[in-house]
Structure 1
Amino acid sequence: MSDDVKKDVRLSLNVMIHKEKAKVLFAEADSHFVDILLSFLTLPLGRIVKVLNNHYGDDAEAATIGSLSCLYRSLANLDSSHFVTKGAKQTLLNPTSSFEVAYEKLKLDVSDSPPAEYFYCTKVNHHEFRCVSAYYDKINYCHECRCFGMMSKKVVPKKIQAAASSDGVFTLHKDSFIISDDLRILPNETGILGIIAILGIADMDEAEIIKVDLGLSEITKLLKASLTSPTPLSDLIMNKTQEMNINSRMMESGHPNMSLPEIAREENPKSRKLSLKVMIQKSSGKFLYAQANQEFVEFLFSCLNIPLGGVEHLLSGKACVTAIDNLYRSTLDVIDDKYFTTNTMKERLTKPNVVHGCISKHHILPLVEEPLPFAYYDDCYFSSSKLYKGPGRYLEGPRTYQVKDDLTVVPFCTVSILSSLRAKRVSISDVEEVEMQIGLKEACSILKASLTSTTALTDALLTHNKSLEQPKGEEV
């Protein structure tokens, strides 16, 4: 199905509402709509920010997602000279997904899929295959088959066709589902009494049914609402805006620095800690800015490559984003394996890998790369990544950067910082430098806070940080 045709597609939902309260109680939808919701989990964070930026245009506030939007904007504004290649910056600005093929089959696709770019060998080896690399680093010669042909960048066309409507993308197209206002998904076989009990609906006598048609614009708005509201369906269908209260989310799932999942409690022996200098106002304890090298900034930018479901996996389904947490937990625990198209689909959705070739050597989080695909490209052999891996980094160094509380990143400039402190009426004598080590726990904290807060570094590193309360002279 072409992109132009998809823009005109509409999906129908039967929605049970409480008109007096202007609230959606639940919606009934087929698996086409559920597949679209599940596709949210497969989108890299940077792709989500890009999609919302394109949809809302100049209204930056409407497109804002925690501190991620500022991080993405900083990346876009940073001069290309800071990166190992121009392609490195573009890879971060346009992160691809390991589910690109699946997006072709969705009834409505919000992913705004970029074309896949690869380096391929100009010669055909003795096996009559071309060698192809998916890395962002420029490679001059092919060493895989010892033909030493020139490696050229090319968009290799995908050999895929949209599946028939009876086929599934993530779930089988043979049953319908119930979706709650906060994106819990229940198979219809749960039954009306079970559904009412699970969703805690007490006033069905006042409910009424309406039919709602959704197009690509509405689905994009739903994506935004699912990341910013505890009631995304009501926000969309009842034209109701209810922003999530950050404090209530912290109460529900714990502060990002205080209630981390098991995966963050044990350091990855293969990951290294990064140093970060944090400047704090002595008199108030407030975060002023952080001074970081290119390795820490590369870690921040690399977070844009992580799929939303991968974030949920790292945080054990407790990202403090109510609707996405519910969507993830439904996929993991509620929707039975029999509803998925393959035996491995549930695991792929709940543990989505980062697309092949995009993990930096400076990564802290335990990320996994998706293997190179084999089936969708003409006359190409996808070679081993080991021989084609470039520098394994995005940013040139050594460089020093200023990182603000909302993850805005700019080149370090002493004059600019002094001007900013003066504007805030902060005396240089009232500034204290605290050096922190950023390991797996701290990285998870920053990732978690970036989704929900515009003061990500304060929330992730400073609040409830007992080490900052120690008297001077004691080891931190």
Structure 2
Amino acid sequence: MAAKQQESRLSLKLLIDEKSNRVVAAEAHKEFVEILFSFLTLPMGTIIRVTSSGDTKNPVTTIGCMNNLYRGVEKLSNENWETENCKTMVLRPRNPLGDYCQKLKLNIDGSWSNTYYRCSCCRSRFSWYPNVSCSWRMKTTQEITAADLRSGGVNNKRAFLQKGRTMFIISDDLQIRPACPIVLAQLLSSLGLSEIDGIREMLVEVSKDQVICLLARSLVSESPLSDLFLPNNPTKHETKLPKPETERTFQKSETTEETEAPTLSLQVTLNKSTNKLLFAKATNEFFDFLCTFLTIPIGSIIHVFKTNSGGLQGCIYNLYTSVEELEDTWIWSIDKSAILNPGIAQYHNCKKQPLKLDELIESKYLLDPRPYENFAVLSSLFIVLDNLDVKPLSSASSSLILRELKVPFSDIEEQVITVGMNEALSLLKAALTSPSSALTNGLASFLQKNKQEA
């Protein structure tokens, strides 16, 4: 039992400033750094699920209104979905680079499976789920593994980095560099430390639960290492470590350059006196778009904003730029751009995607578990509250919402917003950062613009 527990931990050397009692840096082998890189491949739905420790009502940390969206989706009954698989795909989205993450020493996402189901008729088509219909209206019933497929799987024994025992320096805010004395000296100097004498070394064994906590803190904190390993430290470290000086612009793919972003129509109800959005009436198309907020990997979220931290808080952007600035020779078996922009897993996107996010095609023989390429049942309607809680539209839900809002009917107004690229980016940013008012913070400025133009 002890041997098994030892296999599930990784060693990490912490460098602690004794005067301020904070972690200034960590020294780690590539196995730990690969785990940090894998954070960028995780869809938001996976992050909420694993950081909730089995209880989405009491998460390790709260990420804007994303937890509300996840809980709302989780509470919807199966009759709101095209199939039960559709709900599963949103709550347990597939990691587009999950086959690489299977090679990690500690893999925090247990939802990935190398088991597939093949159609017994044509035998060339397969699915992640059993009983999915193929074009011949036959069901996928035969269980197979990735090795049985023509395309096979990723057979390498490594995740992302080249083989070797090279050490890396990781700052408290997750800037990562290959270790050398000058890198450490520059880091300590940037923190106002002039000598090494006041630095204490501490060896720790990192568990899976601690990796999950580190992931959660990286999205909300500037000092996740200190938060994790010095949790009883009463001092809040306001000093931020140096960030990249310039914003970066990412190139669009050829496919997204050639086509305009689709638009969605959203009917919103606002409090006229406060300009606060009370709720929105969403079609199944807009609901599907909201579902993709949970299926997009972190790396692709940062990529789509095209500027520094975009809508993400904490220090996850430092991790992103560390991968971006790492020399290509350090990366093995995968293009670095795939980590920076993993894309949405195949069939995890919506028909009308204003953010113009691409899917990563796993196989042309893979069957879409969604009968009509939708998550929600066609022609269904939903109520989306300001905090992104989602409910099916019904007379009962409408009366309850009006009763809870306690806003005079005379102070209520309806408007229609066309959600294109700018509106979608603003809403996504608000969903990631606003604890309770994602609709208002994301879309109210577009309402004001509409009023001025009227």
Q: TM-score, normalised by structure 1?
A: 0.81
Cα separation, 1, equivalents of 2:226 and 2:301:
25
Partner AA of 1:413 in structure 2: S
Of 165, 173, 182, 1:174 maps to 165
Is 1:151 the counterpart of 2:139? The answer is: yes
Corresponding residue for residue 107 of structure 2: 109
Is 1:372 the counterpart of 2:353? The answer is: no
Is 1:219 the counterpart of 2:211? The answer is: yes
Cα separation, 2, equivalents of 1:7 and 1:458:
48
Matches within 5 A, 1:95-106: 95-106=93-104
Is 1:229 the counterpart of 2:221? The answer is: yes
Distance 1:341-1:141 versus aligned 2 partners, 3 A rule: closer
Corresponding residue for residue 412 of structure 1: 393
Offset at 1:171? 4.6
Secondary structure of the equivalent of 2:388?
A: coil
Of 196, 203, 209, 2:201 maps to 209
Corresponding residue for residue 287 of structure 1: 277
Corresponding residue for residue 10 of structure 1: 9
Cα separation, 1, equivalents of 2:249 and 2:451:
21
Give per-residue Cα distances to partners, 1:70-123, cap 9 Å, x unaligned: 111111111111111111111212111122222221111111234356452214
Is 1:397 the counterpart of 2:378? The answer is: yes
Cα separation, 2, equivalents of 1:281 and 1:462:
11
Is 1:297 the counterpart of 2:278? The answer is: no
Corresponding residue for residue 340 of structure 2: 350
Offset at 1:460? 1.3
Distance 1:141-1:349 versus aligned 2 partners, 3 A rule: closer
Offset at 1:211? 1.3
Is 1:81 the counterpart of 2:69? The answer is: no
- Could you say what the CA RMSD is over the residues aligned between the two structures, in angstroms? 3.6
Offset at 1:413? 3.4
Of 242, 264, 285, 1:274 maps to 264
Corresponding residue for residue 340 of structure 1: 331
Partner AA of 1:459 in structure 2: N
Contact kept in structure 1, 2:13 and 2:26, CA below 8 Å: yes
Offset at 1:157? 2.5
Corresponding residue for residue 28 of structure 2: 29
Corresponding residue for residue 132 of structure 1: 125
Offset at 1:315? 1.4
Cα separation, 1, equivalents of 2:366 and 2:160:
28
Flag structure 2 segments of 5+ consecutive residues without an equivalent.
148-152
Partner AA of 2:125 in structure 1: V
Secondary structure of the equivalent of 1:177?
A: strand
Give per-residue Cα distances to partners, 1:246-294, cap 9 Å, x unaligned: xx99xx99xxxxx99897xx99835321111222111222221111111
Corresponding residue for residue 19 of structure 1: 18
Contact kept in structure 1, 2:346 and 2:359, CA below 8 Å: yes
Contact kept in structure 2, 1:67 and 1:453, CA below 8 Å: yes
Corresponding residue for residue 52 of structure 1: 51
Offset at 1:426? 1.2
Distance 1:210-1:56 versus aligned 2 partners, 3 A rule: farther
Offset at 1:31? 0.5
Of 65, 68, 93, 1:67 maps to 65
Of 208, 230, 239, 2:231 maps to 239
Contact kept in structure 1, 2:218 and 2:316, CA below 8 Å: yes
Of 315, 321, 324, 1:329 maps to 321
Offset at 1:321? 2.0
Contact kept in structure 2, 1:230 and 1:244, CA below 8 Å: no
Greater alpha carbon shift after TM alignment, 85-94 vs 57-66? 57-66
Cα separation, 1, equivalents of 2:340 and 2:387:
28
How many residues are matched? 436
Cα separation, 1, equivalents of 2:430 and 2:332:
34
Distance 1:315-1:153 versus aligned 2 partners, 3 A rule: farther
Give per-residue Cα distances to partners, 1:303-356, cap 9 Å, x unaligned: 2111111111111242332311110011112x11111113x4311101112222
Distance 1:150-1:99 versus aligned 2 partners, 3 A rule: same
Offset at 1:185? 0.6
Contact kept in structure 2, 1:136 and 1:357, CA below 8 Å: no
Corresponding residue for residue 306 of structure 1: 296
Distance 1:464-1:301 versus aligned 2 partners, 3 A rule: closer
Give per-residue Cα distances to partners, 1:119-157, cap 9 Å, x unaligned: 522146xxxxx3123477965444xxxxx5833245532
Q: TM-score, normalised by structure 2?
A: 0.84
Partner AA of 2:331 in structure 1: F
Contact kept in structure 2, 1:294 and 1:400, CA below 8 Å: yes
Secondary structure of the equivalent of 1:131?
A: coil
Partner AA of 1:401 in structure 2: F
Cα separation, 2, equivalents of 1:312 and 1:161:
26
